[in-house]
Amino acid sequence: MLTETTREARILAGGQSLMPMLNLRLARPELLIDINAADQREPAIEGGMLRLPALTRHRVLLEHHLVREHCPLLAEAIRHVGNVRVRNRGTIGGSLAHADPTSEIGCCALATGAQVVARGPAGERIVPASELFAGYWTTTLDPAEIITDVLIPAARPRPGWSFQEMVRRTSDFAIVAVGAIFNVAERTRDHASATVALAGVADRVVLADPELVDDDPDQTAARIAGSLDPPDDVHASGAYRRRLARVLVARALREASARAAAL
Amino acid sequence: MSKRQITLTVNGRDHEVWIVPSDSLLDVLHDELGMADVRYGCGEGVCGTCTVLLDDEPVNGCLTLAVQAAGHRVTTLRGLMGPGETMHPLQECFLRRGASQCGFCTPGMILTALDLVRRSARQGRGRPSRDEIRYALVGNLCRCTGYTKILDAIEEYADR
């Protein structure tokens, strides 16, 4: 349908981002394609990957035993997404395709090294989350492509992890959010393997440069915050966001490392 | 856009309604079917006044299209009431505790809280704590009560 129409078309998944944009007249597509009935698959583990069908609702991410076991970072981050009604309808694929720069889910996708399966007229391809986001509410996907699955490496041995977020009201968009994964297996004497992703600090969710990460949480946080140039908006100034990034990254690294040590 | 006819099952009763595909479930329930217990608040899914149960799960009526509800069960606050519109026990707790003042948020509060209490019981977690109730209600705004009496009412119901 996306290739057959000449009209502006949007795909409607859970609708918890697109429907407010329609109600506020921020988006006025001529055609909505409702995919909610297209897929009833459940989360599964396949070849060392947690496979989440794109229409997996946030509620399922929060409660499903496979997500809690293999991607606890995501299960925790989902607590910060919307309210109970939003989580009942919102989907992981829709959220990633919406590409909000403050997205908790986008942040977790980067931190965990997730990939999306994108299907278009030319067939299927795998897009790493690190190559998915192009800017404010924009992905690198072709307009005729659709996300069908999200693949997250099922961590083994289980790494330490932490999700930190600052908001003015619970359930609101993040001012700054940080997801960190601390991998015990890859840890060497002088270099802790930690992956840090941030939301709310740029025109998209971002992955911190691995070169900036070492064993010292405060130094690492200062280097990462120094590498950012967050925009000002009505919710917070760029300087405040950079300060938050520094505080939250340090907290995230401490908590992730403590969790890794406890395992 | 041309109108089409769909059947909506609301509170156990089928309603045949003519709608345009862009009508929200809230538009149809409130404006077409005259259901005053489903209310327009923010239109963004933030305030909770348009809460309905779709196949027993709370959803935002303003963020769901009416066509998406066809073939599913929709429950509004009135659907919880007994024969002759006798009050649901949670409504009685709200009344007894003074948890409702202007009443605009009350249907959404009750549907969301009831889902929490039922879900906790079903998942073997027992009675939700006050913090869990607070967390479940972050998307239900009340501008009158200050929330304390609402939490009291829900705790009283959960303790039954």
pLDDT tens, position by position, A101-120? 999 999 999 999 999 999 99
B120 and B132 within one domain:
yes
Shortest distance between the Cα of A91 and any Cα of chain B, in A, equals 13
pLDDT tens, residue by residue, A16-32: 999 999 999 999 999 99
Domain boundaries, chain A: 9-21+43-153, 160-262
pLDDT tens, residue by residue, B15-58: 999 999 999 999 999 999 999 999 999 999 999 999 999 999 99
B90 and B75 within one domain:
no
pLDDT of residue A260: 85
Residues 60-89 of A with CB under 8 A from B: 79, 82-86, 88-89
Mean pLDDT of A77-94: 97
- Residues of chain B positioned with their CB less than 8 A from the CB of A59: 57
The correct answer on CATH 3.30.390.50 for the domain covering A160-262 is yes
pLDDT confidence bin for A191, thresholds 50/70/90 = very low
Which chain B residue shows the shortest CA-CA distance from A171?
A: B138
B122 and B92 within one domain:
yes
- Residues of chain B positioned with their CB less than 8 A from the CB of A89: 59-60, 63-64
Q: How would CATH label the architecture of A9-21+43-153?
A: 2-Layer Sandwich (3.30)
Mean pLDDT of B104-120: 97
pLDDT of residue A188: 52
CB A175 within 8 A of CB A200: yes
Residue A190 has pLDDT above 70, yes or no: no
Q: Residue A18: what are its φ and ψ, rounded to 5°?
A: -70, -40
- Residues of chain A positioned with their CB less than 8 A from the CB of B105: none
Dist CA A128 CA A151 (whole Å): 9
pTM attached to this predicted model: 0.93
pLDDT tens, residue by residue, A227-241: 999 999 999 999 999
B115 and B67 within one domain:
no
Among B63, B111, B123, B133, the strongest candidate for a mutation testing the A interface, having the largest count of A CBs within 10 A, is: B63
Shortest distance between the Cα of B6 and any Cα of chain A, in A, equals 16
Burial A62-90 (b: 16+ CB within 10 A, else e): bebebbeebbbbbbbbbebbbbbbbbbbb
pLDDT tens, residue by residue, A125-162: 999 999 999 999 999 999 999 999 999 998 766 579 99
Which chain B residue shows the shortest CA-CA distance from A13?
A: B64
Shortest distance between the Cα of B63 and any Cα of chain A, in A, equals 5
B31 and B44 within one domain:
yes
Domain edge (last residue) among B46, B79, B112: B79
- Name the DSSP letter for residue A218: H
B107 and A CB contact within 8 Å: no
Domain edge (last residue) among B40, B55, B79: B79
B74 and B9 within one domain:
yes
B74 and B11 within one domain:
yes
Tokens linked to A40: 């009833």
B72 and B110 within one domain:
no
- Inspect the interface and report whether the beta carbons of B46 and A83 lie closer than 8 Å: yes
CATH number at residue B129: 1.10.150.120
Among B6, B40, B47, B59, the strongest candidate for a mutation testing the A interface, having the largest count of A CBs within 10 A, is: B59
Dist CA A136 CA A109 (whole Å): 17
Domain count, chain B: 2
Inter-chain contacts counted by CB atoms under 8 A, chains A and B: 74
For all residues of chain A together, what is the average pLDDT?
92
- Out of B115, B116, B139, the one facing A86 most closely (by C-beta) is B139
Question: Length of chain B, please?
Answer: 160
Percentage, residues of chain A above pLDDT 70:
95
B145 and B102 within one domain:
yes
CATH number at residue B13: 3.10.20.30
Residue B60, domain extent: 4-79
pLDDT of residue A183: 75
B97 and B72 within one domain:
no
Tokens linked to A241: 């966001």
B66 and B28 within one domain:
yes
B94 and B46 within one domain:
no
pLDDT tens, residue by residue, B129-140: 999 999 999 999
Dist CA A171 CA A164 (whole Å): 14
Radius of gyration of the CA atoms of chain A, in A: 18
